[in-house]
Amino acid sequence: MGLLDGKRLLITGVLTPQSLAFHVADRAQQEGAEVVLSSFGRMMSLTERTANRLETTPQIVELDVNDPDHLAALANAVGGALGGLDGVLHAIAFAPEDALGGKFMSAPAESAELAFRTSAYSYKAVAQALLPLLERKPGADGKRTEESALVGLDFDATKAWPIYDWMGVAKAALESVNRYLARDLGPHGIRSNLLSAGPLRTMAAKGIPGFKDLADMWPQQAPLGWDIEDPIPVANTVCFLLSDMARGISGEILHVDGGFHAIGAPSHP
């Protein structure tokens, strides 16, 4: 019996086989879940090719989180593909080039706003769009025996990082959005949690100027060490958060970073 047997999941953010979301989808299928992916525009062809590499090729629904029409159609599209919904992975983030790489002070407001809208507000927007499918109502006795799950991908926003700039600010907003979603969706039987991962070599990471400098310092400070080529610990933990094993957990930020976040400075050899 798999951890996610019978679960119906929407996995966003799958572009290439290096995408963290791809490894989540792959692991979720191994654990018994039925999966649907999302993509849009020019990225759709990438997602389609990558979907074919999964054990069971999933359907793909169209979703640009900044397009109100896509959000309005999302519940019908996902419900039509899966017949219901038990969990969502939000793996969506974007900041324009002029808001990253040491350009914090010079970034225009429009770029900061786009980073916030795409990377943080969209978590709420997707949750709101899918509420009719995710809601779990109490039984006749007033007790609720099931929960559905939202999981978002985070990067520790309690610190100011080199090069991360307005994406770091957007992640701080995402962490706040997560707490408010836990507050407002809990009465609907929906939990909301974030996973704060260490740096991994993904397509998204390639778009961050100076990513290599950030990644290179991680193994020096993480007490468990850290392999930027290994997404499996993160994928496994996302599957845990989407599973019934995580019932009762909401508003949380779970770190999977080799312990880096807990250490103030690198230890001497």
Question: Where residue 208 falls among pLDDT bands split at 50, 70, 90?
Answer: low
The answer to whether position 27 is within a domain reads no
Q: How far apart are CA 71 and CA 123, in angstroms?
A: 12
Q: Which pLDDT belongs to residue 58?
A: 98
- Catalytic entry in 7, 103, 124, 171: 171
Question: Where residue 210 falls among pLDDT bands split at 50, 70, 90?
Answer: low
The answer to whether position 60 is within a domain reads no
The answer to whether position 199 is within a domain reads yes
Question: Where residue 204 falls among pLDDT bands split at 50, 70, 90?
Answer: low
Number of domains present in the structure of the chain: 1
**pTM of this prediction?**
0.94
Amino acid type, 21: A
Residue 124 appears among annotated catalytic residues: no
Q: Which pLDDT belongs to residue 206?
A: 63
Q: Is 118 exposed, middle or buried (0-12, 13-18, 19+ CB in 10 A)?
A: buried
Question: Where residue 209 falls among pLDDT bands split at 50, 70, 90?
Answer: low
The answer to whether position 50 is within a domain reads no
Determine phi and psi for 201, rounding to 5 degrees: -80, 95
Structural domain of 192:
65-133+148-255
Pick from 190, 196, 179: which is nearest to 149 by CA? 190
Find all residues with CB under 8 Å of 75, minimum gap 6, and list them.
Answer: 129, 130, 131, 132, 133
Task: Round the average pLDDT of the chain to a whole number and report it.
Answer: 94
Q: How far apart are CA 252 and CA 215, in angstroms?
A: 25
Contact assessment for residue 64 and residue 70, using Cβ atoms and an 8 Å cutoff: yes
- Most confident of the ranges 23-32, 159-168, 256-265: 23-32
Residue 171 appears among annotated catalytic residues: yes
The answer to whether position 176 is within a domain reads yes
Q: pLDDT (tens digit, 9 = 90+) per residue, 57-82?
A: 999 999 999 999 999 999 999 999 99
Question: Where residue 43 falls among pLDDT bands split at 50, 70, 90?
Answer: very high
The answer to whether position 18 is within a domain reads no
The CATH number assigned to the domain holding 224 equals: 3.40.50.720
Residue 84 has pLDDT above 80, yes or no: yes
Structure tokens at 85: 């919904």
The answer to whether position 205 is within a domain reads yes
The answer to whether position 142 is within a domain reads no
- Catalytic entry in 7, 123, 124, 164: 164
Amino acid type, 230: D
Lowest mean pLDDT among 101-110, 194-203, 247-256: 194-203
